[in-house]
Amino acid sequence: KFSFGVGYVHPDAIAHLLPSSSSAADVTGADDSQLMQDDIQILFGTENIYLSIRLYMLLVTMLYQAKDAIAVSGYTSCKAAIVDFIKSKTDLKEFESTIRGITDKNVFNIVAIPSLVQSCGDAMAKVVEEDVIDILYHCSQLKLKDLNQLRSLSIDVAEEAVYRLQISSSANQVFFSYIPADVELQLSNALASEKRNLESGENDDDTKRLKTE
């Protein structure tokens, strides 16, 4: 069934199938009230996916720091030096000397970038090898507001999908959490709830005292 009615799909047009379990039921029929808001993206991933994203974020951060510390023309030369070193066109000593000739700020960070690029590549290769990122990504694109359902669906795909990755594009924030499969997903802030209960209790006591007086 499609949004426009009943249709047929040729088998070779199907990239992959979602698991046939109770957690996958009725996800295609969800209305807008059951869907996550557009600026929030949540994916339950494996440790390899988590590590690859953390390393990539660190790489982007370090490149931005280098860009902020160097003039535009110097940053272009800096990127060229990084690429040449990664391609083994220069050795470490020559690479570091080139960077020091461009800037005297954050040299230690810039010199570490090629090693980080290698780590990112290794991490992404492991993600490709486990071959679950495509299906987990499509699970996240269902945009389900019921995170327990999304989590169950993801664990059906990969039992190791125990890392919650949440992106809030409007706030430019990324959140990570580790949630083992046997641990219940916390959907509310327990500390905030406890604070509200305490405040409610204090208000009740004040009301009782007023009535007594």
134-171, pLDDT tens digit by residue? 999 988 888 888 888 899 999 999 999 999 999 888 77
Residues in the chain predicted with pLDDT less than 70, given as ranges, are: 1-34, 187-213
Q: What is the pLDDT of residue 16?
A: 57
Residue type, 190: A
State residue 174's pLDDT score. Answer: 87
Q: pLDDT tens digits, residue range 15-38?
A: 655 555 555 545 555 555 667 777
Q: With helix as H, strand as E and coil as C, how does 83-111 read?
A: HHHHCCCCCHHHHHHHHHHHCCCCHHHHH
Residue 168: the pLDDT is 85
For 106, how many CA atoms within 13 A lie in the half-sphere containing its CB?
15
Instruction: Please name the amino acid found at residue 110.
Output: I
